[in-house]
Amino acid sequence: MKAEEVVAGILLALLLIYVVAINPDIFRISRVGYSIEFKFEEKTYFIWTNRWVDVAIQAFMLFATATALSALFREEKVEEAEEEVVVEGGEG
Amino acid sequence: MNPMLPLLTLLGGSVATPLVGMFSRKIRFEKIRDAWAILAFLVTTCYFSYLIYSGKLPLYYAVKLEPSWASIEIRIDSFSAYMSLIFSFLGLMVSIYSVGYMSGETGLDEYYALLLTLVAGMIGVTMANDLFTLYVFWELMCISSYTLVSFRKHRWEAVEAGFKYLVMSTIGSLIALYSISLLYGIAGTLNFSELSQIISSGAESISTSTLYFIIAMIIAGFGVTAAIVPFHTWLPDAHPAAPSSISAMLSGVVIKTGAYVIFRSLYAVFFPTEFLYGHILILFGLLTMSVANIMVILQKDIKRFLAYSSIANMGYIILGLGVSTYIAHFYPSDIAAVSLALLGSLFHVLNHAVGKGLLFLGAGCFIKQAKTRNIAKLEGIGRKMPVSAVSFSVGLLNLAGVPPMSGFWSKFFIIIAMLSHPKDTLLHTSTIVFVVNILVAAGYYLWLLQRITLRKPGEQLSKIREVSPSMVIPVAILACICILLTLFIAPVLDLISGPVEALIGYLHKPEAIGGV
């Protein structure tokens, strides 16, 4: 068996375990108990308060992404001589 | 002054940069765009300097609006202001340096816009009053840094390093996000002060193992950016591949942002007096510095050499944090040792930011002229570029911890804190490993110094001249600051005592953060 197939098998098994752990109903497995008691459904005020900065920054993230794409897809002319790259294992 | 001023300046400056760039091309004077970015960093640096010296900290800023989601809540304490001052000052130096270093490259509108966004993201991380806002700023910082690493996209090296950084940092961010969402799930809030109250009161059957799981994910998630071994593998590729100005930012401040979040989250939310994670941090710190110091010795590329030494220095900083939390847990009455370890660690943040910023910018000067990063081919270049070489040597001596340079004192404080409990086996053994690492580091820094500055230059360097003033000036300023940090160590330590008190304050009064 090739190494890639083993890795793929392990990943698939992990995915199945994850799905069963998060949503056991998919396989009609009933959950007996759950160790974490989630509070956020009772107290939702936090997520709806003081969010102006976050919303504004998410807009800036779009700007940053657009700028990043613009930088990476720009036309480039290399005029100067480039610095030599030291390849690991090569001659020093 | 409005605490939003630095963010507005940097983000506004970033959005306006392409417009200023268009205008400057129209009048055929592109330096206006460069000056614009320098001005934005200057305003921010002045703001934080004023804030620290005016003594108006902590500053809690809240604007209540309807609907409530539109309200604003940010907080600047001594620790935030201290880190923000370092970030904005290095941004200022890098933007000045870039005028000469990046001349002749295309896409400079985007370059300066992303540089401003990068620093805005880092400053936002320090000003956030809750983990959700912190994470949003964190992502802003990450997006900018990925692109800046692969800015020279015509080179395979930059694209490969940028992609590796993107993949590893995104995995780290997702791990961090998972820990944040778990915290929100169990506490119903992410506000630092509310979280600390809920968790310290042991409220409502929160499982201890879940909390330790969250601590582990915070350290691992943000530890990727902080380059803690074994999450460090992106850094030795990203730093050499990026333009030297960006390497200085990455090594000088971006990795410190990861350390900042770990410091803040652990001290503000998971009090070290109640949770035991100090020994894990000590082991991570020792592992980080030992692996990195061994790797430095094998390097032939000057930027890769400096990159690995940055990882080693992050090991010192994490060790200082680990020692402070370990002592706070097992010897809670010994606040002096806890403070001393934190003082050493935070002082080293400053020393390394200035020193490594200087070394990367100095190396950039050599590389720009010699067109090589090979240490063997850069031998003796210091004799041809005296100002750069003297400044570079100051940075090397500082980070080597040669007495009386400030780099010596920061490590010395951590050692003294570790020796405060000589009967403790872990602290005792760690001190020995730490001292051995310091000596190894001093050896390779001095080895680099003699190769760059003392040896006779080869034939290939015969036509080398000093770089342009816009590149030399920031390098010389950073060297002067290394010397000033040494000469005026007392006021510098006074300055750092503010952040130390801000962190120590959490151990006594959770509401010290200035939260609701």
What is the secondary structure of A12-64 as a DSSP string?
HHHHHHHHHHH-GGGGTPPP---S----TTT--TGGGSS-HHHHHHHHHHHHH
Q: Give the Cα separation of B69 and B242 in Å (integer).
A: 39
pLDDT digits (tens, 9 = 90+) for B54-107: 888 888 887 777 777 777 788 899 999 999 999 999 999 999 999 999 988 889
The domain spans of chain A are: 1-29, 37-74
- pLDDT of residue B116 exceeding 60: yes
Q: Give the Cα separation of A21 and A39 in Å (integer).
A: 19
pLDDT score for B405: 93
Instruction: Grade residue B514 by pLDDT with cuts at 50, 70 and 90.
Output: very low
Spell B137-151 as b/e; 16+ CB within 10 A means b: bbbbbbbbbbbbbbb
**Which of A34-43, B186-195, B279-288, B462-471 has the least mean pLDDT?**
A34-43
- pLDDT of residue B515 exceeding 50: no
Phi/psi zone of residue B371: left (φ > 0), alpha (ψ -120 to 50 degrees), beta? left
pLDDT score for B336: 93
Q: Tell me the pLDDT of chain A averaged across its residues.
A: 76
More confident residue, B440 or B195: B440
pLDDT digits (tens, 9 = 90+) for B404-420: 899 999 999 999 999 99
B376, A47: Cβ pair inside 8 Å?
Answer: no
3-state secondary structure of B181: helix
- pLDDT of residue B204 exceeding 70: no
Nearest CA-CA distance, residue A13 and chain B, Å: 20
- Mean pLDDT, range B434-453, rounded to an integer: 96
Instruction: Grade residue A92 by pLDDT with cuts at 50, 70 and 90.
Output: very low
- Mean pLDDT, range B253-275, rounded to an integer: 92
**Which of A73-82, B302-311, B440-449 has the least mean pLDDT?**
A73-82
- Mean pLDDT, range B161-187, rounded to an integer: 93
pLDDT score for B205: 65
Interface of B with A in 281-300 (CB under 8 A): 300
- Mean pLDDT, range B421-430, rounded to an integer: 93
A86, B186: Cβ pair inside 8 Å?
Answer: no
pLDDT score for B510: 46
A64, B71: Cβ pair inside 8 Å?
Answer: no
Q: Please list every residue in chain B whose beta carbon sits closer than 8 Å to the beta carbon of residue A76.
A: 106-107, 153-154
Instruction: Grade residue A2 by pLDDT with cuts at 50, 70 and 90.
Output: confident
User: Phi and psi of A76, rounded to 5°?
Assistant: -130, 135
Instruction: Grade residue B485 by pLDDT with cuts at 50, 70 and 90.
Output: very high
- pLDDT of residue A34 exceeding 80: no
Helices (H) and strands (E) in chain B, counts: 19, 2
3-state secondary structure of B75: strand
A85, B373: Cβ pair inside 8 Å?
Answer: yes
| For A51, nearest residue in chain B (alpha carbons) | B69
- Percent of chain A residues past pLDDT 90, beyond the cut: 16
pLDDT score for A91: 44
Instruction: Grade residue B513 by pLDDT with cuts at 50, 70 and 90.
Output: very low
pLDDT score for B430: 96
Q: Tell me the pLDDT of chain B averaged across its residues.
A: 91
pLDDT score for B299: 93
Interface of B with A in 155-184 (CB under 8 A): 155, 157, 182, 184
**Which of A45-59, A77-91, B442-456 has the least mean pLDDT?**
A77-91
A86, B304: Cβ pair inside 8 Å?
Answer: yes
Interface of A with B in 1-20 (CB under 8 A): none
Asked if B440 and B481 touch (Cβ cutoff 8 Å), the reply is no
- pLDDT of residue B451 exceeding 90: yes
- pLDDT of residue B178 exceeding 60: yes
Nearest beta carbon to residue B114 from set A39, A48, A67? A67
pTM for the model: 0.89
CA-wise closest residue to B100 among B318, B361, B297: B361
Q: Please list every residue in chain A whose beta carbon sits closer than 8 Å to the beta carbon of residue B189.
A: 43, 46
Residue B70 near chain A (CB below 8 Å): yes
For B460, the enclosing helix (H) or strand (E) is none
- Mean pLDDT, range B369-395, rounded to an integer: 93
The burial class, CB within 10 Å (0-12 / 13-18 / 19+), for B325 is buried
Q: Please list every residue in chain A whose beta carbon sits closer than 8 Å to the beta carbon of residue B458.
A: none
